């Protein structure tokens, strides 16, 4: 007996009510992955500002991985900004718990604003570049 296309490709069948159905499995995306605070923020921004890119990354399976990378970048920026602010404290303020606490809060707020602004700018810039490339491509075809 001749093998079917699915059997030649190594796809298994399951029997339901006497009929054989191929068992087709898509890549499983780990939607329960902990992408972190800044990863969730980036995903939300991407969803709001560039729905097409969000859907593309979701279907490609790269959304979660990119969100995790953006989360790591966000925490690195937070560490650098906090360290930079703490170095700016004067010698007499370094022994003040309240001054250190205020500085840490200010550093965290500043870093979060920078992370949000840079993510928003990057998403908008990528979208604008894609639109420009599409426009140039259309103009090239019309000529």
Cβ atoms of 35 and 24 closer than 8 Å: no
Q: What is the pTM of this model?
A: 0.68
Q: What was the pLDDT predicted at 41?
A: 94
Task: Name the more confident of 11 and 49.
Answer: 49
User: What is the residue extent of each domain of the chain?
Assistant: 5-142
Q: What was the pLDDT predicted at 134?
A: 92
- DSSP one-letter string for 16-83: ETTEEEE---PPPP-TT---HHHHHHHHHHHHHH-HHHHHHHHHHT-HHHHHHHHHHHHHHHHHHHHH
- Per-residue pLDDT of 14-61, as tens digits, reads 888 888 787 766 555 555 678 999 999 999 999 999 999 999 999 888
Mean local confidence (pLDDT), 6-18? 78
In the predicted model, is pLDDT for residue 142 greater than 60?
Answer: no
- Per-residue pLDDT of 79-116, as tens digits, reads 888 788 777 766 567 788 888 888 788 888 888 898 89
- Per-residue pLDDT of 54-87, as tens digits, reads 999 998 889 999 999 999 998 998 888 878 877 7
């Amino acid at each position: 007996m001749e093998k079917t296309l699915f059997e030649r490709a190594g796809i298994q069948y399951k029997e339901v009510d006497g009929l054989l159905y191929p068992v087709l499995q898509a890549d499983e995306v780990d939607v329960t992955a902990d992408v972190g605070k800044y990863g969730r923020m980036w995903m939300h921004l991407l969803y709001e500002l560039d729905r097409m890119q969000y859907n593309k990354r979701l279907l490609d399976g790269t959304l979660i991985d990119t969100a995790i990378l953006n989360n790591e970048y966000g925490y690195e920026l937070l560490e650098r900004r906090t360290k930079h602010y703490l170095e700016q404290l004067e010698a007499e303020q370094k022994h003040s718990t309240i001054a250190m606490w205020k500085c840490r809060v200010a550093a965290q707020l500043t870093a979060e604003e920078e992370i949000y602004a840079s993510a928003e700018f990057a998403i908008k810039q990528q979208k604008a570049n894609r639109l420009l490339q599409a426009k140039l491509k259309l103009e090239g075809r019309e000529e």
